[in-house]
Amino acid sequence: MQQPIRLAPSILSADFAQLGAEVRAIDEAGADYIHVDVMDGHFVPNITIGPAVVRALRAHSQKIFDVHLMISPIDPYVAAFADAGADIITVHPEAGPHVHRTLQLIRSLGKKAGIAINPGTPVEAVDPLLADVDLVLVMSVNPGFGGQSFISGALEKIAALRARIDRIVAGTPRRIDLQVDGGINQQTARLVRKAGADVLVAGTAGFAGGPANYAENLRRLREL
């Protein structure tokens, strides 16, 4: 069953020169999760932040730290992100040959495990993994940069995954959140909610205009 909406602003669109203050501001503005985009210049064509920054930011918010790893290899770095204070660690099956092992590793460290699928990856890729995840992330842009346009093919995938997740959790106490990431604004937020998403990542739309606007930015994304 679709869950109440949660917003996960991506600090990729925050002012990197004052990340601590930015995380406090977006937390106070009503963020549910703090989404951290980790990029390595190898799996994706951009380089962002590593575990030391996650650790430093941890003191600035009690919200759920939702760490999206766009790196390859993954396994050698999972423990560092867990130790730095990540609550959810999401990985891409396209990034390595043994994604099931990676998910087990994340859970063995007491963290929630997420699986992300790129625009070019079919939803069937996560079927064998649904028993082992707490979150499924549908990428609605190709990962690497903020500020890209929403790829509408994501809507069908969200709907398909909504049905799969509902089938798997039915009659159990389990919950698997369905998250969408990329090109979320007031218009696309409405579409992805309708398709069945629970958690909306928003970089550009969350951090537009600086701290004075954050509460209003998030309010608009929640309003349907």
Residues identified as active-site: 37, 181
- Per-residue string for binding with ligand DX5, 23-42, x by CB under 6 A? ------------x-x-----
> Binding segment for ligand DX5 among 56-64, 85-93, 107-115, 182-190 (CB under 6 A)?
182-190
Question: Could you say whether residue 66 binds Zn ion (CB under 5 A)?
Answer: no
Helix (H) or strand (E) holding 6: strand 6-9
> Which residues in the 153-172 window bind ligand DX5 by CB under 6 A?
none
C-beta separation of 200 from 180 below 8 A: yes
Alpha carbon distances (Å) from 110 to 34, 67, 87, 171: 18, 14, 9, 24
Cβ atoms within 10 Å of 109's Cβ, excluding its own: 15
Question: Could you say whether residue 40 binds Zn ion (CB under 5 A)?
Answer: no
C-beta separation of 87 from 64 below 8 A: yes
Selected binder of Zn ion within 22, 37, 40, 177 (CB under 5 A) = 37
Strand, coil or helix: 219? helix
> Which CB sits closer to Zn ion, 40 or 181?
181
> Binding segment for Zn ion among 29-37, 57-65, 125-133, 148-156 (CB under 5 A)?
29-37
| Contacted entry of ligand DX5, Zn ion, none for residue 179, CB cut-off 5 to 8 Å set by kind | none
Cβ atoms within 10 Å of 96's Cβ, excluding its own: 16
Question: Could you say whether residue 202 binds ligand DX5 (CB under 6 A)?
Answer: yes
C-beta separation of 183 from 141 below 8 A: yes
**Site residues (vs ligand DX5, CB under 6 A):** 10, 12-13, 35, 37, 68, 141, 143-144, 146-148, 181-184, 201-205
